[in-house]
Each structure stands twice: as structure tokens, then as C-alpha cells.
Amino acid sequence: MGPEFQHLLLVYTAYVIAAGSPGPSNMRIMGVAMDQGRRAALVLAAGVVSGSIFWGAMAATGISAILTRYAEALIILKIFGGLYLLYLAFRAAKAALTAGEKPVETAGTNTPETTSSLYRRGLLMHLTNPKSILAWIALVALGLGPGASSYTVAAILFGCAVLSVTIFCGYAIVFSTAPMVRFYSRARCWIEGTLAIFFGVAGIRLLLSRT
């Protein structure tokens, strides 16, 4: 097993752990999948994947490393990212408060948002998250050992892109199954309330973070 292959395995393992762990993107995909169905969740996931691949390309070309040297740029991203998470918290809280006004039978069959709106929402969650930039820089640095070739860079981007599609679309598919939709219909208020708290805490932490 060559050193480049070992580096790739480390990168892929780290990416699976980072992308697969519960975070704002995964939580929102889960909520949309149970509330609006598989198609809506897959569109949202496509936006998340696009954002992830974008920052991966930036990290591979070194552009995002330059960006991190300018504190002002990261501060702006933090502000936009934190405010966007607070906006998602507001939407989830509103959904939780109005859950009782909707017949339980209709939960999970809501009229989905437009395709462009869902895609933009997923894209913004990643593009406005400075932690995505820093995570990708760490991943690329981890995978590019001494004498790494352009093949290694391409393998990192392609492999992580495949993993990104698998993970985020997997969340969309699993949480849009009939048992999950039925669970959502019974616990919509609690689920949206939990999402509201999660996004709210994440947004405040991002706005107050110093790194």
C-alpha cells in the first residue's frame, strides 16, 4: 500500500466522519425529507453537495487558503452563515408552533418549495459556513503528502464528491421513507422544535466564535 493511497484513505475516512455527523445540512435534509418528501430533500442535498464540491475545488487550488489569511472575509462569512442559521431556526420554530393547526394526516405531504429555492437553501448552508473552508483545507493538507501528484488531488476531489453525494442523498432517501414520514406526522412539533433549537444554537455559536 503506497503512501499516496494511505493518504487518500485518511482523507476519505475523515470526510465520511465530518460529512456524516449530524450538522446543519444533515439536519435540514432530514427535516425536509420527512416534511416535503424525497424529491425535495434530494434537491436540497444537491445544493449541499454543490457547496461542498465548490469549497473542495477552492482548497485544492489554494484559493481558500489565501482567503483564510484575510480575517475580514471570514468574519463576513461568519455573519452571513450565523444569520442564515438563525433564519432557519425561525422557520423551524414557526413550523413547530403551527403544527397543531394542520391535520396530522397531511403531514409529510406538504406542497414542496420550488426546486430553485431548495437548491439555493442547500447551497447557502455550505457557502456561508467558514468551517467548510477550514475543513477542506485540512482534508487537502492531510491528503497531499510529500511529492503528491496531480492525480492525488483529482482523486481527493472525485472521491469526496462521490462520498458527498452518497451521504447527503442517503439522508434524503432514508428519511423520506414511509416509516419516517409517519413518525414525522406524529412528532412534527417536537422535530421542528428540536431543529429550531439546533439551528439557533449553531447560528449563535458561529456568530460568537473567534476562529
Residue 104 has phi, psi (to 5 degrees) of -55, -35
pTM value is 0.75
- Could you tell me if residue 147 is left (phi over 0), alpha (psi between -120 and 50 degrees) or otherwise beta? left
For CA atoms 156, 162, 166, 169, the dihedral sign is positive
In terms of Cβ atoms closer than 10 Å to its own Cβ (0-12, 13-18, 19+), residue 122 is buried
pLDDT band at 44 (very low <50, low <70, confident <90, very high): very high
Residue 105 has pLDDT above 60, yes or no: no
pLDDT > 70 fraction of the chain, expressed in percent and rounded: 81
Q: What's residue 60's pLDDT? A: 77
- Which residues, 6 or more positions from 74, have their beta carbon under 8 angstroms from its beta carbon? 67, 68, 130, 133
Tally Cβ neighbours within 10 Å of residue 112. 17
In angstroms, rounded to a whole number, what is the distance separating the alpha carbons of residues 88 and 70? Answer: 28
pLDDT band at 119 (very low <50, low <70, confident <90, very high): very high
Nearest to 45 by CA among 119, 136, 126, 131: 119
Domain segments of the chain: what residues? 3-102+111-208
In this structure, of 14-18, 95-99, 143-147, 163-167, the range with the lowest mean pLDDT score is 143-147
* Integer CA distances (angstroms), 108 to 68, 88, 196, in order: 41, 19, 18
Residue 109 has phi, psi (to 5 degrees) of -125, 25
In this structure, of 3-7, 109-113, 138-142, the range with the lowest mean pLDDT score is 109-113
